[in-house]
Amino acid sequence: MLAQLFAPVAGFGVTFSTMFRKVQTQEYPEVKRPTAARFHGRHQLNRHPDGLEKCVGCELCAWACPADAIYVEGADNVDGARFSPGERYGRVYQINYLRCIFCGLCIEACPTRALTMTNEYELADPTRTALIYEKHQLLAPLGPDMLQPPFPMAPGMEERDYYRGQVTGATSAQQEYVAERDSARAASTAGAASSATSSTSTDAQDKEVGR
C-alpha cells in the first residue's frame, strides 16, 4: 500500500534531482554555436579586387557535382559588357540547395577559385523555389574598392595579370567609365519616365476633349 502511495513521488525524484543541474544544451537560434573555419556552408561567387567576376563560365563545377545541383550557362564578354577578365563569364549560375550535399567537389573543380563555400548554414525556407539560388544571390558583395560590372579590364592588364594578383583595385579609368555609364543610364531612365508622363497627360487631355 505504501509502495503504491509513494510510487509517483519516486518518479518525480528523477525530475527534482536534475532540475538544479547546469543546462548542457544550447538554445537555437537564440544561441548560435560558431562553425569551424573550413565549414562547408552556402556557396559564394568571388570577385577580383576591382569588382570583375572570377567565374569564366567554364561549367566544370556543374560537371563535377555528383548531385546535379549546379547549372551554369556561359556567355562571351563583349565591348561595353565585360563582366570578367578574359573571353567568357557565367551569364546564368544556379545552385539547387534541395539537391546539394555540400561535398565541396565543385570547389575543387573550379580553375579560377571563383567558387568557394561560406560558413552560412541557415538555408531553410518554406518554399522549394526559394532554395534554388540565382547568380545575384551567390555573388560576393562589392568591397570598398570595387565597382559594379560591366566595365573594361584595368588598362594595360591581361587576364593572366588578374590571376597573378597584379590588380589590387579599381583604377581611375575604370571609375570614370562606370560613372559615365551610370549617368547615361540615369538620363535614359529620366527621359523614359518623362515620355511616359507626357503620354499619360496627352491621353487624359484627349479624353477630356472627347467628352
- How high is the pLDDT of residue 66? 97
* Alpha-carbon gap, residue 56 to 63, rounded angstroms: 15
Residue 123 lies in a domain: yes
The range of the structural domain enclosing residue 115 comes to 41-166
Residue 4 lies in a domain: no
Residue 108 lies in a domain: yes
Which residue is associated with the grid cell 583595385?
169
- How high is the pLDDT of residue 191? 79
Say if CB 97 and CB 131 are below 8 A apart. Answer: yes
Which residue is associated with the grid cell 584595368?
154
Number of domains in the chain: 1
Indicate the pTM of the whole model. 0.78
- How high is the pLDDT of residue 192? 77
Say if CB 57 and CB 90 are below 8 A apart. Answer: yes
Residue 93 lies in a domain: yes
- How high is the pLDDT of residue 17? 78
Collect the ranges in the chain with pLDDT lower than 50.
none
Q: What is the DSSP letter of 129?
A: G
- How high is the pLDDT of residue 3? 67
At 74 the three-state DSSP class reads strand
Residue 17 lies in a domain: no
- How high is the pLDDT of residue 40? 92
